[in-house]
Amino acid sequence: MRIGFIGLGTMGRPIVARLLRAGYAVVVHNRSRGAVEWAVSQGAVAADSPAAVGGAADVVMTSLPYPETVETVYFGPGGVREGARPGQIWVDLSTIAPAHAEAFYGRAKELGVFFLDAPVSGGPMGAEAGTLTIMVGGDAEAFERVRPVLAAFGRMIVHLGGPGKGSAVKLINNLLVAVHTVALSEAFVLGAKAGVDPAVLHAVLKASTGHSFMIDRTIDLIQDRDFAPRFSIALLHKDVRLALQFAEAMEVPLALGAQAQAHLVRAMAEGHGGEDVAALIRPLERSLPSAFERRSRSSSGFGSRTPARRR
Instruction: Tell me, letter by letter, the H, E, C secondary structure of 231-287.
Output: CEHHHHHHHHHHHHHHHHHCCCCCHHHHHHHHHHHHHHHCCCCCCEHHHHHHHHHCC
Angle at 7 between CA 115 and CA 59, to 5 degrees: 35
DSSP annotation string for 133-193? EEEEES-HHHHHHHHHHHTTTEEEEEEEESTTHHHHHHHHHHHHHHHHHHHHHHHHHHHHH
Region 288-309: mean pLDDT is 46
pLDDT digits (tens, 9 = 90+) for 115-174: 999 999 999 999 999 999 999 999 999 999 999 999 999 999 999 999 999 999 999 999
Question: Alpha carbon 65 to chain centroid distance?
Answer: 9
Choose the catalytic residue: 170, 193, 206, 238.
170
Q: Is the dihedral of CA 192, 198, 200, 205 positive or negative?
A: positive
Q: What is the number of other CB atoms lying within 10 angstroms of the CB of residue 287?
A: 6
Percent of the chain having pLDDT more than 70? 92
What per-residue confidence (pLDDT) applies to 285?
86
Task: Give the angle 97-100-104 at the CA atoms, nearest 5°.
Answer: 145
Where residue 298 falls among pLDDT bands split at 50, 70, 90? Answer: very low
pLDDT of res. 300? 37
Q: Tell me the average pLDDT across 249-264.
A: 98
Q: What amino acid is encoded at 63 in this protein?
A: S
The answer to whether 217 and 231 are in contact (CB under 8 A) is: no
Range(s) for CATH 3.40.50.720 in the chain?
A: 2-161
238 classed as catalytic: no
pLDDT for 189 beyond 70: yes
For residue range 54-98, list pLDDT tens digits in order.
Answer: 999 999 999 999 999 999 999 999 999 999 999 999 999 999 999
Whether residue 208 contacts residue 225, with contact meaning beta carbons closer than 8 Å, is answered with: no
- Beta strand 132-137 with 120-121: parallel, antiparallel or unpaired? antiparallel
pTM assigned to the model: 0.91
Average pLDDT, the chain: 93
For the segment 243-261, the average pLDDT, to the nearest whole number, is 98
- Residue that wins the pLDDT comparison between 171 and 198: 171
Domain 168-300 in CATH 1.10.1040.10 = yes
Residue range 177-192: mean pLDDT, rounded: 96
Q: At the fourth CATH level, which superfamily is domain 2-161?
A: NAD(P)-binding Rossmann-like Domain (3.40.50.720)
CB distance 28 to 53 below 8 Å: yes
CATH 1.10.1040.10 domain residues, the chain: 168-300
pLDDT category at 245 given cuts 50, 70, 90 is very high
- The confidence score (pLDDT) of residue 286 equals 72
